[in-house]
Structure 1
């Protein structure tokens, strides 16, 4: 890899950079992270010539090298530092041909940094449909670089791009001999004397952005401040004047190289399909209706379509476990393999269909250009709560599963907004909480009661829990906006792209990368924690587990078959390390009405929320895996007596306390593992777990104390 030339793909958001990256690299991609930065680094291999491969680095989309977000700050730390490990040998700047002048601003800045550059004009067909004809040969002479016309989605122009890249790598020519806006010679001499940088534009970039560049020490930053004071240099003023000057120069070039047929024939601007569709999709009322309809279809798919392969995966894992238990000798090693390792792997794989379907829809919405419209119409409302328009999809996706929902926050450009979205998404009630809600609501809400004689009260209670999660997510986001301190200001700057047909190859690559990231990153953590949980539930101090079995056989000599096995399992669970821990935490959970049995369920359901029902089944010595199981669990839980009061254990106070606790508590270890995967730090999963657990405990305490 070290011997390969490195090329950086650079461009404005929605210019087609990622589509070009997929076209060039296909499946030869890998995801890492930039050194010292909690952001994904996507790299791939492109075969430039037979036997000659180069490394492609897909940088975040930016509008300028003067950063206003962490994405742009990351880019200048690479492009402005020749000693950075990701500093490119050359750059391909992808420009939207239908908005050429604005896209050329970034191109001119990259070129003036002294980086050999090729300009790739994407979406030429869109520009022509809008009445623009670009003379790319003349543009190449004006800019003094190779200019290639491409269609990134269809892979058109790749061969020409290969020739241009090969020529540029060979000649290593970069035009940076003059500043777009002159400065005093003494200023550049002072920078060169202090830092040894003689390239004028890079020296100015260092001077203006030294506080954002990680390559400089505090002493060096103070030295830059001294140079600015000495030379009466004001960075903000220079950047503004320089940008205006660049646009003046670029306007002249564009006027010479682009023919506007609309202007030539004095016609009205061409009305495109994008203009027509946006009348509906951006309508202040109809836009929301359409969006809700699309969400309904999307979640029908995530809930309904994914259930078939998820059931298949669940069944396959169960059959593999049963087969191994039959052919392997009964031992703790076999139990570890089946109930620990394979069950943990199954707990990872069962999420794959949901992730695949969710990212299928997200990729479709992004590829067609509709996702930008959703973010645009929702931004105003979400910003009041410390989020932005891009937070909408992850929050609503959390109703299905927090794991793919958190992964989908990658579309949020602002690190601050993305982090807050990640931190509050688990408050949305996921599908795994449904079994818990179903059982507990049936215990505390009478089945025959209705609201206004029309709506089943149990259904209303379920709906209220989902609404409660959504509003708590918004409230938590608003509080985090005030608590979390960021130097970054949140901007929502977005150019709405034209509508396009999706390219399914790119969608498939996006789905594959998302699934791989979950399985191989978050998955290994989930499997490890599953094994740990199995160990704690399967072993106990001393010979307590053996004694538990003997005690059951002595106390219940008439029990046989599944009833005996269930009673032994319940007794062993009580005597396991998990059971002992349940009794240790009982004084803590006693104020919210829970005993050690519920304490065990709180622990084991951390593996997955739906484990709560299975744990209660084991604790109460019940069996079965059908809907009848839930009915039996309800009956047994109804008949459970509180030893302290002599009254039913699961009364209204305890039932609603548990409902509120599970509505607010961290969903599962998979969610924490995914948060770690997306933030590249354990700090945020720990904070997330702590605040959600505290919120759940306090809310459950209030509910229990009020209702009891």
Structure 2
């Protein structure tokens, strides 16, 4: 059956599309090069959303197949078969089993590792039997050739009945041919790779008739997976349950028999199309390297050394571009205030620009952090890290797959919590979700950077060890330790005795594809700035209003008191202006609010100004810097300095520096343990489908942060 590519009706009504748009699903085994292919097809035309009805990430992009045809590429989660083992994989069956859905693809591109074709073809044969038009992207041809694997492409194409495109997606080889083929009208594979067992033919026929399905294999999957299919009505599920119970349908047995039958068919097929001309007797390079990198002693030391390098780079290498951005923001504000004046100008410079400047300055550090993470993933080393850390995780009651969310939590807790969907065991998944926000996310970097720079000297040991970088790494390790010990505590409370197993395929080591690294840096940095910017602009405007106005005539009376005090003490004009600004800020709405909560935070060493920043930063951690910048910009129209200098010049009631090491480290410890942001609570609510877990997280992490900060301040002051 040919497929006609048409424009999507809903979009056409809202915004006419002048070019036809095809919908193409990209699917394949993990480590088959699917991500590289997606990046090659879409470039910068990517966006991340959620699959309809679920919180699993949906990565989509637009690819220009021909001058007159665009395609929407949907990047599906990696899977080995159409029998899902995790919540992530279930979105695949929801998409592919409902032909009436507006999201149903016109075509699927199946990525396959050419060096391990037998394993990869299992998924392809299942998709082919669903009668969906398909193209097989035979990826990693360079690896196959290196290993002496020769594939007769024409013979394979005849056997499968679909176009087969040899590719090297990392280098872009075969992309042009793939675009040409996918722009044509394609029919599903004619041959069936699996025959429905005779004893199930009647049941399958009944299911086809009830649901109006086009083929037997799709009807068989309805029998296997009807409980997980969200688009099936409850009465239909009841009907299916009764039907299958009447024949004593054993799903696991049928699945196992199907898998055996498919591999028998695949073995016969590959005998005619694949031959191995060279057998390597020596151990593969990847295996030899694994003996070192996953060693029970040296493996951990190497990983710690790499972490140490990352955090050194975040401080040392990023300092130069950060200084340029810092100077540029300060000069821009000075230029604007020198030529314009008025309340709106004050709002622009002291509110919006000061707040955004507190985020923009951290772009170099965010970019460096994600660059290292992308390189570790591209080379294949990240898979080894999760394998090594699994041995530690099990001792604390975590599933081996918990390592992936915890490592992802270093970037952002929201996708990290969502990635816990790959954990099948309910208790392991709940424990992982609960402790993941304790990992220090990238939004904490601005807070850490400013506070560390205030009280930790920029000194080097042995010429290259930056003390500030060492402190930063210590905070990340503190977050990790608090996460695993909290998991141990939760394991005892939940009495989680179920055992689970961690299975991961190691990809071969490769040189990183620098285009993919660049795309990762660009996308992550853009997301950080845009998402933080939306919140910071809103918070900065609100803060400026609250700090610039007060109840009744409080501002006027504060100004009179300050002028009287300044005259009595013989202050200069500049000192008088600073005293008036401070008095007016304290009399403002923001000051009143800060004073109201000050008794609760005074034992931690904080004043009412820090109290305001603590509350606003609950929207997003990076807002702390923008808030402090906004608060300390009030009244400084003629001398706009950077946030760091403002904090360093702040004095306490005795005229001594306010941000002492005791206060700064108290704040650092507070932010290391406190709940990250409102977004994290929201996604935990969605993932657990209960308010109990996010509220328990909020109470536990807030209490832990308060107690730890209190102890830190009392010991250091």
Q: 1:353 matched to which residue of 2?
A: 364
Question: Structure 1 residues 582, 658: CA separation in 2 closer, same or farther (over 3 Å shift)?
Answer: same
CA contact (8 A) 2:307 2:473 kept: no
Alignment of 1:124-203 (within 5 A): 124-167=141-184, 169-171=185-187, 173=189, 175-176=191-192, 179=195, 181-203=197-219
Tell me which of 352, 359, 375 is aligned to 1:341. Answer: 352
Q: How much does 1:51 deviate?
A: 1.6
Q: 2:16 matched to which residue of 1?
A: none
Aligned residue for 1:71, secondary structure, equals helix
- Aligned equivalents of 2:492 and 2:24: distance in 1? 40
Q: 1:315 matched to which residue of 2?
A: 327
Aligned residue for 1:585, secondary structure, equals helix
Q: 1:534 matched to which residue of 2?
A: 544
Q: 2:438 matched to which residue of 1?
A: 424
Question: Structure 1 residues 136, 220: CA separation in 2 closer, same or farther (over 3 Å shift)?
Answer: same
Q: 1:414 matched to which residue of 2?
A: 422
CA contact (8 A) 2:118 2:270 kept: yes
Tell me which of 201, 213, 216 is aligned to 2:232. Answer: 216
Q: 1:578 matched to which residue of 2?
A: 590
- Aligned equivalents of 1:601 and 1:516: distance in 2? 24
- Aligned equivalents of 2:472 and 2:142: distance in 1? 51
CA contact (8 A) 1:25 1:46 kept: yes
Question: Structure 1 residues 163, 90: CA separation in 2 closer, same or farther (over 3 Å shift)?
Answer: same
Unaligned runs of at least 5 residues, structure 1: 443-456, 642-648
Q: 1:76 matched to which residue of 2?
A: 93
Aligned residue for 1:160, secondary structure, equals helix
CA contact (8 A) 1:91 1:117 kept: yes
Question: Structure 1 residues 4, 483: CA separation in 2 closer, same or farther (over 3 Å shift)?
Answer: farther
CA contact (8 A) 1:344 1:527 kept: yes
- Aligned equivalents of 2:289 and 2:657: distance in 1? 60
Q: 1:506 matched to which residue of 2?
A: 516
Aligned residue for 2:111, secondary structure, equals strand
Q: How much does 1:139 deviate?
A: 1.6
Unaligned runs of at least 5 residues, structure 2: 1-6, 9-19, 424-428, 458-466
CA contact (8 A) 1:122 1:152 kept: yes
Relative to the length of structure 1, the TM-score reads 0.82
Q: 1:475 matched to which residue of 2?
A: 485
Q: How much does 1:368 deviate?
A: 1.9
- Aligned equivalents of 2:493 and 2:126: distance in 1? 37
Aligned residue for 1:5, secondary structure, equals strand
- Aligned equivalents of 1:34 and 1:460: distance in 2? 41
Q: Does 1:665 align with 2:674?
A: yes
Relative to the length of structure 2, the TM-score reads 0.81
- Aligned equivalents of 1:393 and 1:294: distance in 2? 18
CA contact (8 A) 1:424 1:476 kept: no
Alignment of 1:488-499 (within 5 A): 492-499=502-509
CA contact (8 A) 1:367 1:501 kept: yes
Aligned residue for 1:284, secondary structure, equals coil
Q: How much does 1:603 deviate?
A: 4.3
How many residues of Structure 1 are paired with residues of Structure 2 in the alignment? 673
Q: 1:376 matched to which residue of 2?
A: 387
Q: Does 1:47 align with 2:64?
A: yes
Q: 2:448 matched to which residue of 1?
A: 433
- Aligned equivalents of 1:336 and 1:257: distance in 2? 70
Q: 1:31 matched to which residue of 2?
A: 48
Q: Does 1:7 align with 2:18?
A: no
Q: Which deviates more from structure 2 when the two are superposed, residues 545-554 or residues 618-627?
A: 618-627
Q: 1:301 matched to which residue of 2?
A: 313
Q: Deviations over 1:253-282 (max 9, x none)?
A: 2223211235xxxx5545433233222222
Q: How much does 1:629 deviate?
A: 7.3
CA contact (8 A) 1:180 1:246 kept: no
Q: Deviations over 1:556-614 (max 9, x none)?
A: 21222332232222212211112111222245446767664653464467665557987
CA contact (8 A) 2:581 2:635 kept: no
CA contact (8 A) 2:547 2:585 kept: yes
Alignment of 1:389-400 (within 5 A): none
Q: How much does 1:121 deviate?
A: 1.0
